[in-house]
Each structure stands twice: as C-alpha cells, then as structure tokens.
Amino acid sequence: MTVKELKAALLEQCSQVAAHRYQKIKETIAGIVESLEEESKSSAGDKHETGRAMLQIDRENAGKQLQEIENLLAIVRKIDISSSSDYTRLGSLVYTNQATYFIGISIGAVVISKTTYYCVALHSPIGAMLSGKKKGDSFVFNEKEYKVTSVK
C-alpha cells in the first residue's frame, strides 16, 4: 500500500466516524423535537412545564454537539492528503519510535493491514506536541520520549 493509499484509507475512516456521529446527533435531535411536540399536546401544569424545560435543555445540548460535529466534518474536508511536507501538519502521517499518527480528527486507533495508526486532532495533546515537528525532532509526552522518524 502506498503512502497516498494509506492516507486515503485513514481519511476515509475519519470521514466515516464523523458522518456516523453526525447521523446519530441528527436522530437525537429529531427525537427531542418529537418529544417536545408530544409534550405540547399533553395537559398543562407544573409537571408539563418541567418536562418541556428539560427537553429544551436537551435540545440546546444536542445543538451544541451538532455544531461540534459539523466542525469535525469541516476539518475532514480540509485535509489534503495529496501534498506532502517535511513538517507535521493537518493530513500528515507521522512515524515515531512509539507509534504512528495520522493528523486529522481524534477517532483513536485504526488498524489497516495489521498495523495500528492513531488518528489524532492537531489540537489534541499529542497532536499539539507533533505539530510542526520534522524528521529527527524529539519531544517528551506523558513521561515518554518520542522521536519523529518520518513525516509523510
């Protein structure tokens, strides 16, 4: 598998996870809206008002989650796997003496061809440490020394 094919496979995994999260939150919001409509049809009173207030809070929280997921989808769309760079940036595949990282969105470990890759966001703790690093650079993270062996 070429580096470009590997990056494409990792990007596809990121895209699928983000799309799945998007679909789930849209379903959650639809359920809350339906519950709010049902709550409107029920009788008035304190219990009714409390129920509506709780559903409204749930709807606001789900709206915030939807915004976060839309931001993730926007990041995924920005990732350019066709260009390479000497330093770590969005879309980079970074090999270290500890693990291999794909800089995209945080979805955790992904296994491709029996090799584990960690998909991390640039703003995550490890992503921030990797940002701007190039081959030969080293850093300490969680009391472990990391050495960048390659950036693709």
- Tell me, what's the pLDDT at 43? 56
Query: What distance in Å separates the CA atoms of residue 34 and residue 112, rounded to the nearest whole number?
Result: 40
Tens-digit pLDDT string for the chain (152 aa)? 999 999 999 999 999 999 999 999 999 999 999 888 887 666 555 666 787 888 889 999 999 999 999 999 999 999 999 888 899 999 999 999 999 999 999 999 999 999 999 999 999 999 999 999 999 999 999 999 999 999 99
- Tell me, what's the pLDDT at 47? 63
Q: The whole model's pTM is what?
A: 0.88
Interhelix angle 3-41/46-78, rounded to 10 degrees, is 160
- Tell me, what's the pLDDT at 31? 93
Q: For the purposes of burial, counting CB atoms within 10 Å of the CB of 126, is it exposed (0-12), middle (13-18) or buried (19 or more)?
A: buried
- Tell me, what's the pLDDT at 49? 75
Q: Are 22 and 70 in contact (CB under 8 A)?
A: yes
Neighbours of 150 (CB within 10 A): 13
- Tell me, what's the pLDDT at 11? 98
End-to-end CA distance of the chain: 14
Ordered by start, the domain boundaries in the chain are 3-78, 93-151
Query: What distance in Å separates the CA atoms of residue 84 and residue 87, rounded to the nearest whole number?
Result: 9
